[in-house]
Amino acid sequence: MSRQPYTAGQYQHLVSRVTPSSRMLVGYVRAFWVGGAICALGQLISAWAETLKLGEVTNPMFTTSVLILIGTTLTGLGVYDRIGKYAGAGSAIPVTGFANSVAAPAIEFQREGAITGVGARLFTLAGPVLAYGIASSVLVGVIYWALRGWLL
Amino acid sequence: MSRAGGQTIVYENPPVIAAHRGVAGRKEGQGPLAEWFDAILEDDLLGQKSWELAESEMVRRCARDTLDAAGLSAGGVDAVLGGDLNNQIIATTFAAKKLGAPFLGLYGACSTFVEALTLGAALISGGDLRNALCCASSHFCTAERQFRFPLELGTQRPPQASWTATACGCALLSGGGHGIQVTSGTLGRVIDLNITDANHMGAAMAPAVFDTLTAHLTDTRQSADDYDLIVTGDLGWIGRDLLLQLCRKAGVDMPADKLVDCGASLYSQAQDPHAGGSGCGCVASVSCSWIMKRIESGELSRVLLSGSGAMLSPTSSQQGQSIPGICYAVSLEGE
């Protein structure tokens, strides 16, 4: 007793025709310049770290830490979500975006307590990145270890 | 009580809407319907510890003001019928605890308010209740954290995403007295045309709205011409377009100027709500203020009010299930 004038397939076709698509070009331009600006900022911090004579090992860690500090601070001030709305992947992919994805649930779920709230939900968004990031680096490490005889 | 067709109840003793209140949040209170709302929240946390408690407080205040307007105390309410979007409908339950009146919790996603009207009217018409307080609410901040992302996460929303309204609407149905009459109610069927995009609720619900509206018109042997306005609850701009296309294809006469969607009316495009407003509170507050006040002023005399819900959960959509839709409709008639 279906009264529907379209089958599911026809309807999905209609939906995709009627639904406006995201403005891709504008999105690319915004993501490019914001993402680029964040990377340039990282480069500046790195150059500053050079003058502090932190050393080859500490310099990148220092740079990353400062970017994370900026990302979490802007999240706490309620600014990073606005940057993210404007820039999309441009602000989500750099490490400041990763910091945002950890700080945002920390703020959101503090009302559920330190254990079941912040503790349990802290990595709800970053968790997949960590899990697959670490897993793939282990995999790449194994491949490198197995092939290093031929590579070097 | 008499039935008409397959899905419609024609209330033998039509209850009246003795009092109604529509409350809106700050963003909603800056939109095109601002002047119609009975109250606009000063802040969206309402001095509470959490967004959930804030939503509950909004429901409690709205219910209290509705009862005050009807000159009734909570002790005089035979039943509160309502719900919200939270898991286990906690906002409404916690408000009902404070009211202390008998409570029937309902979940129909954004269709909850009209579902409550349909049921409440049936219970009153059948003589089982003297009155019923029908309510529904939603809060942007509680819905975001439950269905989507933390508020401070820097993400982009696609154009088809809707904006969950911070709003609440309450209507007191009564077996006697003066007010807008609820003359018939049409129950919805769960309709699913296999839309899986959890952002695209308008597309998921439009076929259900089409199903219920055509059932209502067929059951009661009416056409769109018999109504001054056909109101849909929260299809948004894209969903409204889809409904019009479904009607056109099926040969159902549905004049575009008669079809008003609450979600497409709550915000202006400048407020950047993407596809429009959604949430149980959207259709509840818009119909309890904008629509009902226009019926009472005589501007409208017969209105078909429908509310539609996208019956998804984070679990079902993460498991790749499509989004079933449901829609209820009631006809409202001025005195």
Last residue of a domain, one of B140, B174, B208: B174
A101/B207 touch (CB, cutoff 8 Å), yes or no: no
Which chain B residue has its CA at the smallest distance from A100's CA?
Answer: B153
| Pair (B137, B207) in one structural domain | no
As averages over each run of 10 residues, the pLDDT of chain B (335 residues) reads 89 97 96 97 93 97 97 95 96 96 97 98 96 97 92 92 96 95 97 95 97 97 96 96 97 96 95 94 97 97 97 94 97 95
Does residue B3 lie within any of the structural domains?
no
Say if residue A44 is in the same domain as residue A114: yes
Same domain? For B143 and B194 the reply is no
B187 plus B289 within the same structural domain: yes
Task: Answer yes or no: do A91 and A135 share one domain.
Answer: no
Q: How far apart are CA B200 and CA B234, in angstroms?
A: 12
ipTM above 0.85, yes or no: yes
- Here the tokens at position B110 are 């954004």
Q: Which of B153, B160, B245 sits opposite A19 (nearest CB)?
A: B160
Residues B131 and B72 sit within 8 Å (Cβ to Cβ)? yes
- A92 and A136 belong to one structural domain: no
State which of B120, B147, B174 marks the end of a domain. Answer: B174
The residue among B44, B140, B153 with the most chain A CBs within 10 A of its CB, best to mutate, is B153
- Domain hosting A140: range is 125-152
- A1: confidence class by pLDDT, cuts 50, 70, 90: very low
Residue A152, in any domain of the structure: yes
CATH number of the domain residue B328 falls in = 3.40.47.40
Task: Say whether both B205 and B85 belong to one domain.
Answer: no
Domain-embedded: residue B59: yes
Closest Cα in chain B to A106: B150
Q: Cβ separation of A8 and B153 shorter than 8 Å?
A: no
Whether residue B157 lies inside any domain: the answer is: yes
Q: Residue A108: its chain B contacts at CB < 8 A?
A: 145, 150-152
Question: How many other CB atoms are there within 10 angstroms of residue A55's CB atom?
Answer: 11
Q: How far is the CA of B281 from the CAs of A8, A15, B134, B169, B240, in angstroms?
A: 29, 26, 12, 6, 18
- In angstroms, what separates the C-alpha of A104 from chain B's closest C-alpha? 5
Half-sphere exposure of A78 (CA within 13 A, CB side): 2
Q: Are residues B90 and B238 in the same domain?
A: no
Between CA B196 and CA B205, with CA B202 as vertex, the angle to 5 degrees is 75
Q: What is the 3-class SS of A29-49, one letter each residue?
A: HHHHHHHHHHHHHHHHHHHHH
Residue A38 lies in a domain: yes
- Residue that has been written with the tokens 């602000």 in this structure: A91
For residues A86 and A67, membership in a common domain is answered with yes
Q: Are B15 and B175 in contact (CB under 8 A)?
A: yes
Specify the pairing of strand B325-333 against strand B277-278: unpaired
Q: Which chain B residues contact residue A84 at CB under 8 A?
A: 153-156
Phi, psi for A85 (deg, rounded to 5):
-65, -35
Residues B163 and B212 occupy one common structural domain: no
Based on the fold, state whether residues B307 and B218 are members of the same structural domain. yes
Structural domain for B273, as ranges:
180-333
User: Three-state DSSP class for B136?
Assistant: strand
Per the CB < 8 A criterion, the answer to whether B148 and B162 are in contact is no
Yes or no: say if B63 and B79 are a contact pair by the CB < 8 Å rule.
Answer: no
Same domain, B188 and B95: no
Q: Is residue A84 located within the same domain as residue A109? A: yes
Same structural domain, A40 and A114: yes
The residue out of B174, B194, B216 marking a domain boundary is B174
A20 vs B50, B150, B159: nearest CB: B159
CA B244 distance to own-chain centroid: 20
For residue A31, give both structure tokens: 């993501």
Residue A134 within a domain:
yes
**How many domains is chain B partitioned into structurally?**
2
pLDDT of residue B2: 84
Q: Are residues B169 and B211 in the same domain?
A: no
Q: Same structural domain for residues B21 and B152?
A: yes
In chain B, the residue whose alpha carbon lies closest to the alpha carbon of A11 is B193
Q: Enter the pTM of the model.
A: 0.94
In a domain, A87, yes or no: yes
B332: nearest Cα among B186, B209, B215, B192: B186
**Structural domain contains residue B153:** yes
Question: What pLDDT digit, counting tens, does each position of A51-88 carry?
Answer: 998 888 999 999 999 999 999 999 999 999 999 999 99
The DSSP string of chain A is ----SS-HHHHHHHHHHHSPPP-HHHHHHHHHHHHHHHHHHHHHHHHHHHHTT--TTHHHHHHHHHHHHHHHHHHHTT-HHHHHHHHTHHHHSSHHHHHHHHHHHHHHGGGG-IIIIIIHHTTTTHHHHHHHHHHHHHHHHHHHHHHHHHH-
What are the phi and psi torsion angles at B230 (to 5°)? -115, 115
The CA angle B81-B87-B91, to the nearest 5 degrees, is 50
Q: How confident is the model at residue A2 (pLDDT cuts 50, 70, 90)?
A: low
What was the pLDDT predicted at A150?
83
Domain count, chain A: 2
Numbered residues of chain A with Cβ closer than 8 Å to any chain B Cβ? 1, 3-6, 8, 11-12, 14-15, 18-22, 27, 75-76, 78, 80-85, 87-88, 91-92, 97, 100-101, 103-105, 107-109, 111, 125
B145 contacts on A by Cβ (under 8 Å): 108-109
Residue B9 in any domain: the answer is no
Which DSSP category does B12 fall into?
S
The reply to whether A116 and A42 lie within a common domain is: yes
Give the pLDDT band (50/70/90) at residue A152: low
A35 and A93 housed in the same domain: yes
Q: How far apart are CA B22 and CA B171, in angstroms?
A: 9
Q: Are B233 and A26 in contact (CB under 8 A)?
A: no
CA distances from B37 to A8, A92, B6, B167 (A): 39, 38, 36, 10
Mark whether A113 and A151 lie in a shared domain. no
> Looking at the structure, do residues A57 and A109 belong to the same domain, yes or no?
yes
Distance CA B311, CA A59 (A): 51
Contact of B250 with B138, CB cutoff 8 Å:
no
Residues B170, B150: one domain? yes
The answer to the question of residue A138 being in a domain is yes
**Cα separations (Å) of B228 from B148, B188, B257, B301, B303?**
37, 22, 10, 7, 6
Q: How far is A152 from chain B (nearest CA, A)?
A: 43
Question: In sequence order, which residues have a C-beta less than 8 Å from that of residue B128 and are 6 or more positions away?
Answer: none
- Is B69 a domain residue? yes
Query: Residue A3's pLDDT is what?
Result: 84
* B321 conformational bin, left if phi > 0, alpha if psi -120 to 50, beta if neither: beta
| Domain co-membership, A115 together with A133 | no
Coil vs helix vs strand at B124: helix
| In a shared domain, residues B282 and B323 | yes
Taking any CB pair shorter than 8 Å as contact, residues of chain B touching chain A are 6, 49-50, 145, 149-160, 191, 193-195, 200, 203, 207, 210-211, 214-215, 238, 241-242, 245-246, 249-250
Distance from CA of B50 to the nearest CA of A (A): 7
Q: How far apart are CA B194 and CA B171, in angstroms?
A: 34
Classify residue B166: in a domain, yes or no: yes
Please indicate, yes or no, whether residues A114 and A141 belong to a single structural domain of this protein: no
Say yes or no for a CB contact (<8 Å) between A11 and B149. Answer: no
| Residue B10 maps to a domain | no
Residue in chain B nearest A102 by alpha carbon: B153
Instruction: Give, in order, the Cα–Cα distances in Å from B91 to each of B56, B168, B253.
Output: 4, 11, 39
